[in-house]
Amino acid sequence: MATAGANSLDAFWMPFTNNCGFKEHPRLFARAKDMHYFTPDGRAVLDATAGLWCVNAGHGRTRIVEAIQRQAAELDFAPTFQLGHPLAFALAARLAAIFPPGLDEVFFCNSGSEAVDSALKIALAYQRAIGQGARTRLIGRERGYHGVGFGGISVGGIVGNRRWFGPLLPGVDHLRATHGAGVPFTDGQPAEGAAFADDLERLVGLHGAETVAAVIVEPLAGSTGVLPPPIGYLERLREIATRHGILLIFDEVITAFGRLGAATAAERFAVIPDMITCAKGLTNAAVPMGAVVVKDAIYQAIVEAAAPGIELFHGYTYSGHPLAAAAGLATLDVYKEDGLFERATSMSEYFGQAIHSLRAARHVIDIRNLGLVAGIELEPRPGAAGARAGEIFHRCFDEGLLIRVTGDTIALSPPLIVEKSHVDEMVGKIAEVLARIN
């Protein structure tokens, strides 16, 4: 049987990729530092997306690199089933200290997808523990992205991620997306649209509150095209969920760790959910890691209701992995010592104004932004949705700029170390590409 050569591109089945197209025209990175990637031939590419929404402190941070190196030499792996190692407990305590009050218990996993599936399972276990075992229904939101586990794509609302995989989890329903409530080119939160939260009341009326375990939303939807929440929306969702005994889960895989100028979007919006899922910026993406940060009352209910022994039959071989824990602790140190959450706040006005300078650019039909994240929506080509943005993605890469596109929306989420000169370069190159492309 023929096998691919050691340096062939054939063997790697790439995720979320046009594999045939990529392997005909590969675009590769060889190294990265601070705000830039570098191609194998040494060409610099400005990172306007923090890798994949995740390298919040910039690339190649010495403190994080050295922490991983030390830990690999000292303790490369330790199981956390009925055993432990100090760094996992230390990182959990540090996270509990910066997350909203009352969210004091941390369950570690390896990605945002695993964090979401873990949170959904914890929600079901909690409802059963308090004698509400009939509460098995999970509610997501249209246009929501919650990773690629079966739980995540079930509560998620992006059609392309769902259509190939059958009926998914039973008993799942969806709130309407909040997009379209306000006027185009809104800087910050839309003024209109809080009433979209009343969809939860509608679903409670349809299914019965006694059947609903949890509702999960992204405070700011990222992968679907950057949709900031309307003013008052999250507050109303919190009130309705509380009134009906429904757990509220914030998926903060993108928004946690400074993207909106605070440790969490929950802090930024002053709305405290019952659980927060996180990943990406947790370790600055240097080692894969995710987590669910849970209200103490939920943890206590599950632990106290269980028979002696294992209380929650769930976990992963690499939960709280020593290298990931070391990377997480070092990353939190970098965030604090460099004041990166505060920096995101101070840079957000300049970033927003620069992005909105593209409102008159060719093909642009909407711009949405909050903190250090922005979406630039383009008019689709007739009969070829996503084609224009895809071509712009390739053109920008070839001209030294890494952007992200989702559908016909350009998404920008630069590392929090971004300078005004970097923002100017991003906007200038995007404007040039838009002017030339059909």
On whether the CB atoms of residues 180 and 213 are closer than 8 A, the answer is: no
- Structure token pair of residue 312: 């929650």
CA within 13 Å, CB half, 183 = 4
Q: Tell me the longest C-alpha to C-alpha distance in the chain.
A: 67
- Structure token pair of residue 200: 């939860």
For position 8, what pLDDT does the model report? 83
CA distances 135 to 120, 151, 214, 414, Å, are 12, 16, 8, 40
Burial letters for 392-421: b for 16+ Cβ neighbours within 10 Å, e otherwise?
Answer: bbebbbeeebbbbbbbbbbbbbbbbbbeee
For position 180, what pLDDT does the model report? 78
For position 6, what pLDDT does the model report? 56
Distance CA 235, CA 79 (A): 40
- Structure token pair of residue 409: 């929306």
pLDDT under 70: residue ranges of the chain: 1-7, 181-182
On whether the CB atoms of residues 216 and 146 are closer than 8 A, the answer is: yes
Per-residue model confidence as pLDDT tens digits over 155-181: 999 999 999 999 999 999 999 999 976
Of residues 317, 401, 249, 334, the one with CA closest to residue 65: 334
On whether the CB atoms of residues 295 and 104 are closer than 8 A, the answer is: yes
Within 10 A of 297 (CB to CB), how many other CB atoms are there? 14
Within 10 A of 364 (CB to CB), how many other CB atoms are there? 19
Tell me the domains of the chain and their CATH numbers: 19-60+339-436 (3.90.1150.10), 65-337 (3.40.640.10)
For position 2, what pLDDT does the model report? 45
On whether the CB atoms of residues 216 and 124 are closer than 8 A, the answer is: no
Within 10 A of 219 (CB to CB), how many other CB atoms are there? 26
pTM greater than the 0.85 cutoff: yes
Element (H, E) at 151: helix 150-155
Per-residue model confidence as pLDDT tens digits over 174-212: 999 999 766 899 999 999 999 999 999 999 999 999 999
Element (H, E) at 235: helix 233-243
**Residue-by-residue DSSP string for 389-407:** HHHHHHHHHHTTEE-EEET
